[in-house]
Structure formats: structure tokens, C-alpha cells
């Protein structure tokens, strides 16, 4: 489909959206104006969660009119952009004047070897920064912002699923993978998925009002917006562990188990873990045992052994390399611990 096709009524849905978009941008500027930029293989959930919150907050009724806020999806030449699930999205606009927006949102998704955004779009984002337009990176959209040199000196929020990718690609850049999103003075970065709705709620409450944010959340069947520093949902352990992280009542301990998951090759000390969750080491040990039924050290060791077992059956790396990646000093160290817990040496799985 060409860009010109979008202006002809060959598809009634696209034609109506196009006409509505034209009228919206000729009207007086509302309290919140947002532009979306999509990377290749972007995540549809992140885009739809964010956009639906804006849609539901924009109109007092349920007509999806862009009254209290407005938004558009932009792209060079309005060429189709394929999402990670295979659905193609046609941008509604070319790159508009950056000063028409309060925020520009870069929605990422699957990572590949090339740059997340083309040079022209990167330059467009740099112009936005010069004009004091705030930027938001959602999912791997944060990778695109870092690649464009737009996150220097700023801490990023990265999904736990991509934290190793980020650390490998940007080894010297500060980031967190145990929060839903991070709000800076002029940048917001978000782990992605349904956390994009929480970011949208954050913006709606500040620009339109708390009632509009609550309305949108309730229509989407969400009780409340989650705060930025809430821990990301925990990945399930690979095999038996001391406790199911999702069942841990204390958020500090849930966050500690997430930090363990994210730091397998170079394990954090008990003092570091306690400091990260803002309790004393003694209290941390007591709380951890209370909520998981295991000591922090034994739980951590189990996670690393589970990871090593998974690597043994899902990769071609040597046992020595797997031992190092799982935080053991050498192959012999892994073998001793592995045999104690699983009853067989690592080589038996090969």
C-alpha cells in the first residue's frame, strides 16, 4: 500500500482515521499531545496499551474523539511498519513539526542487528530535544534512544527480558531492570508490555487529571496505575526453586529475587542485595527466609544451577563457559554443586 492510497477511500477504516487526524491537528492544541514512532518489529501490546489509555482519557464519553489529548503515528513516507506479531501498521502522518508535541514515544520490540531507527528519524528526535520536547522509550525503544545519543548521563529502564542484551550492547550505560518505568526530567523509559499503560496513566493524570486516568484504567479493567518504581513481574524460575516469586508477598523480597535473576554470572553479595532493597543485611536475611522458606544464598545458588541446567540442554557452549555464565568459579565448582542438587554431573545432560 502506498502513502497516496491512505488518502483514497479504498478502505473505509483507514480513510476515516485519516480525516479525523486531519481535523484534530487543525483544532486548538489540547492539554496533552503525543507522537508515536515505531521501530521495526515493534511490540503491538506496548503501542495499543499506551494509545488506548490516551483514547479513553481524551473524550468525556466513549466516542474516541481527540478532545483533551491528541496523538498520531508517524513514519517516513508513511510506509507500513511490521509489528513483532506480524501485523502491519500504516503511519497516519509524516514527521510533523516537533513543536506540535509534548512527548514523542519510540515504541520498540524485537531486536535485530541493525539500528532501531533510520538516520532521518534519529535527527528528528535530536531536533525535538533541542526544542524541549520530552522523549519516551517503550520496550526496546530505549535502545533506539541510546543509539541516537539521546540518553547520555541518564539512567534507563529495561525489561528484565532484555537486560543482558542492553548490558552487552551498552556496557557503560546505567540502567535498571527491576522497575516498571523511570521518570527523568525530560526522558521517560519503560520496560514495555502493559507497563506502557502505566506510563500513559502517569501522563494523563499530570496533564488532564486523575479522574481521566482512573476512567481509562477502569475501562481497561485495571484497578489502578502502578507506580514507576514497582518491581517488574518476575520471570518464573527454570526448574525447582525455593519459592514462586509471584507468590512472594513482600515487594522488597520479590525485587531481590529479580535482582538475583539479573545477576547470575557475577552474583551480588548479601550486603549489595540488602542495600538495593533498602533494608539492613540482617533484616534482609530474616525477611527473605520468612517469605521464601530459604536463605538468600541457597535461593541464589538454586537459580544459578537452574540456569546452568537450562544452558546445558539448550546451548552448545562448553560446560566451563556455562559454569562461568552461571556464576561458578570453574567447571569443577559447578559439577560439585550440580551433583549435590540434581544427583547427576552436568556432563550427563550432554
User: For position 6, what pLDDT does the model report?
Assistant: 35
280, 350: one domain: yes
In DSSP terms, which residues pair with 93 in a beta bridge?
74
User: For position 248, what pLDDT does the model report?
Assistant: 79
User: For position 241, what pLDDT does the model report?
Assistant: 45
For 288-346, the pLDDT digits (tens) are: 998 888 899 999 999 999 889 888 887 788 999 999 989 999 999 999 999 888 888 99
For every residue of 184-195, DSSP letters joined together read -SSEEEE--TTH
215, 238: one domain: no
Residue % of the chain over a pLDDT of 90 = 62
**99 located within any domain:** yes
What's the angle, vertex CA 93, arms to CA 91 and CA 96, rounded to 5?
135
- The CATH number for 137's domain is 3.40.50.880
User: For position 317, what pLDDT does the model report?
Assistant: 86
Helix and strand element counts for the chain (H, E) = 13, 10
Average pLDDT over residues 41-63: 93
pTM: predicted TM-score of the whole model, two decimal places: 0.70
For 143-185, the pLDDT digits (tens) are: 999 999 999 999 999 998 888 789 889 988 999 888 899 999 8
137, 271: one domain: no
User: For position 235, what pLDDT does the model report?
Assistant: 54
User: For position 231, what pLDDT does the model report?
Assistant: 78
**228 located within any domain:** no
Quote the domain boundaries for residue 292: 234-350
Average pLDDT over residues 180-200: 96
**225 located within any domain:** no
214, 244: one domain: no
Please check whether residue 303 is in contact with residue 261, taking contact to mean a CB–CB distance below 8 angstroms: yes
User: For position 23, what pLDDT does the model report?
Assistant: 67
Quote the number of domains for the chain.
2
202, 115: one domain: yes
Residue 2 C-alpha cell reads as: 502506498
Average pLDDT over residues 268-274: 95
88, 54: one domain: yes
182, 272: one domain: no
For 220-250, the pLDDT digits (tens) are: 999 899 999 887 775 554 444 444 565 677 8
Q: Which residues contact 341 (CB under 8 A, 6 or more apart)?
A: 302, 305
**307 located within any domain:** yes
Given 159, 193, 219, the domain boundary residue is 219
User: For position 20, what pLDDT does the model report?
Assistant: 52
Greater confidence (168 vs 282) lies with 282
User: For position 21, what pLDDT does the model report?
Assistant: 59
Given 162, 184, 219, the domain boundary residue is 219
For 69-117, the pLDDT digits (tens) are: 999 999 998 999 999 999 999 999 999 999 999 999 999 999 877 788 9
Residue 65 burial (CB count, 10 A): 15
195, 239: one domain: no
**224 located within any domain:** no
**167 located within any domain:** yes
User: For position 17, what pLDDT does the model report?
Assistant: 46
Given 219, 251, 269, the domain boundary residue is 219
Q: Which residues contact 138 (CB under 8 A, 6 or more apart)?
A: 46, 47, 50, 105, 106, 107, 108, 189, 190, 192, 196, 199
For 3-29, the pLDDT digits (tens) are: 333 333 333 344 344 445 566 787 889
Amino acid at each position: 500500500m502506498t502513502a497516496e492510497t491512505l488518502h483514497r477511500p479504498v478502505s473505509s477504516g483507514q480513510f476515516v482515521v485519516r480525516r479525523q487526524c486531519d481535523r484534530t491537528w487543525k483544532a486548538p492544541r489540547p492539554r496533552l499531545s503525543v507522537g508515536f514512532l515505531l521501530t521495526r518489529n515493534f511490540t503491538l501490546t506496548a503501542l495499543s496499551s499506551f494509545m488506548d489509555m490516551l483514547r479513553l482519557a481524551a473524550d468525556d464519553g466513549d466516542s474516541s474523539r481527540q478532545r483533551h489529548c491528541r496523538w498520531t503515528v508517524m513514519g517516513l513516507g508513511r510506509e507500513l511498519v511490521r509489528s513483532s506479531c506480524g501485523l502491519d501498521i500504516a503511519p497516519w502522518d509524516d514527521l510533523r513539526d516537533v513543536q506540535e508535541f509534548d512527548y514523542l514515544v519510540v515504541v520498540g520490540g524485537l531486536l535485530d542487528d541493525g539500528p532501531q531507527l533510520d538516520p532521518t528519524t534519529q535527527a528528528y528526535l535530536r531536533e525535538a530535544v533541542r526544542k524541549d520536547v520530552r522523549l519516551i522509550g517503550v520496550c526496546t525503544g530505549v535502545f533506539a534512544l541510546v543509539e541516537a545519543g539521546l540518553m547520555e548521563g541518564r539512567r534507563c529502564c529495561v525489561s528484565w527480558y532484555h537486560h543482558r542484551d542492553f548490558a552487552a550492547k551498552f556496557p557503560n550505560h546505567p540502567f535498571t531492570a527491576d522497575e516498571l518505568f523511570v521518570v527523568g526530567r525530560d526522558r521517560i523509559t519503560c520496560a514495555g508490555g502493559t507497563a506502557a499503560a502505566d506510563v500513559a496513566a502517569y501522563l494523563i493524570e499530570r496533564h488532564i487529571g486523575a479522574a481521566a486516568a482512573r476512567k481509562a484504567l477502569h475501562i481497561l479493567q485495571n484497578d489502578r496505575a502502578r507506580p514507576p518504581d514497582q518491581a517488574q513481574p518476575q520471570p518464573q524460575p527454570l526448574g525447582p526453586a525455593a519459592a514462586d516469586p509471584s507468590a512472594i508477598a513482600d515487594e522488597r523480597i520479590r525485587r531481590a529475587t529479580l535482582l538475583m535473576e539479573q545477576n547470575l554470572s557475577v552474583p551480588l553479595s548479601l550486603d549489595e542485595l540488602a542495600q538495593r532493597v533498602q533494608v539492613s543485611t540482617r533484616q534482609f536475611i530474616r525477611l527473605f527466609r520468612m517469605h521464601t522458606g530459604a536463605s538468600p544464598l541457597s535461593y541464589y545458588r538454586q537459580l544459578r544451577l537452574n540456569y546452568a541446567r537450562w544452558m546445558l540442554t539448550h546451548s552448545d557452549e562448553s560446560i566451563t563457559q556455562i559454569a562461568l555464565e552461571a556464576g561458578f568459579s570453574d567447571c569443577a565448582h559447578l559439577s560439585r554443586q550440580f551433583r549435590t542438587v540434581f544427583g547427576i554431573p552436568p556432563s550427563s545432560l550432554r
